[in-house]
A and B are shown apart, each in its own frame.
Chain A
């Protein structure tokens, strides 16, 4: 257990007594939830208690605090794009009580020093738990393994290793990484992108790229790496996590691998569950992302794969960029979209409202499984008595007109600008403390470092 992480579990004498009234537990039954000092003290149809602050949650779905397996917080190095402070505020606003911070900062999170810095910044922020991801290779350069052991044993207790943004394309290096992380029960999260097949790639390769004359990013560049990596994982008996899977062919490969008993987990982003490459016809770089938006065929395959469990988790790949990196020509623009503050609404829209999954499934794919993949104690726990009080209250009947200017993230690059999405996060309890109440950001957790 990660005892360093004060937010992750255990009781918090300072967080007080909260009574959540009339919440819809996993969309299944109406309950009251009593939270006392960071822990769920009682769940019952009707709880009365005089010594509490009551939160009216009528009509709101109660889910365990969300866990994002894939976030870019940009700090250190690109504080103009996002900081741990702004990124975790955005996470809290989106219902997340933990985020895995990807390693492609500057300097790269490839040493114990950098991962401890990020971990410490997260602890200081007090909005959500920040769990650093360590780089697989030094400088994400794909040449030499980084100090995986040192990062695993650091205060940050890193368990997820990824060169995300770049693919660990050297098959031998990937094999070694898969083997080596077993020492710490770690996992390699692969950004599946065959580099030679995607040189200069700008968008999905297909009918739209043909029209637009933008260099294609073919599905096969993702699928060939996934095929190789599941075979490697099988060969060396390791587990592998596939980041932001985006194609129908990838779904079929992962499904086949799981049928063969290979220990593979897969992630889809909210944007790949909703948006298609038709949007690129606008040439608005807000739709430029890596892997690129694919076709409707792929979107439908991804939704079905989440529904049948082939895809295990929804991860945001929240990638904030400063305005100037998006306010330019397509090929000059940075890749990536923000996502923390819209993910749950997009999941409701694409998966719950379509009948593909239940709210109980949402708890699994956005909280329990990502925490399990990342071996994150105290997160993704069921909403049961005695468990840490990481809870999100979500009103599925609300409608949210997305206006990135109102987002907590520094990034304004939301592809949903101007869209009305269903649902709204009303409250986020992080280790017993409401960081969000009434849809408004409150105060950070009182146990946050330095406070």
Chain B
């Protein structure tokens, strides 16, 4: 198993197996997956009309931003009116477990969500509880016509009857394993410096360097 080999692995080489960590998606893989998802969204919605992207903090929002940029490049989609961030912390059912969570800002898209096709965007779909919280949170913001779900990784182990409409990568995992998504906007050293103050701008070089999806354990 990789556990034994990894001690000898060159730590300078982040691309290969390191520790008990396996890299599942590289920066290029992530970008290709998002491009495909963007096309699927447009196809499913029959175009960009009434389309709204809502990213779920933390890493769902940069993914939504990237999808929005791709939609804008492919078709007539306006991120300045139709992209938002929706925090779901206060709607979670596990607030009494683990440490207290500081909520993230909710930024409503300028057009609102009423009668829109809202695509919720998150990084990893696992138990489905976050998405359950998101559906509750969304009802307080307005009444969308349709709600869809896009995720970068679906790792299985659902605890609720929830499924994703658009999936970047289906990833069978053991429940003991951890799936880590790293995105330059949040996980680059410059972004880490900003801390809670939010996400950094990320250049293509930053993405190439810091984007990845790995499995630990």
A–B contact, 8 Å CB criterion (strictly below): no
Q: Point out residues on B near A: beta carbons under 8 Å.
A: none
Q: Point out residues on A near B: beta carbons under 8 Å.
A: none
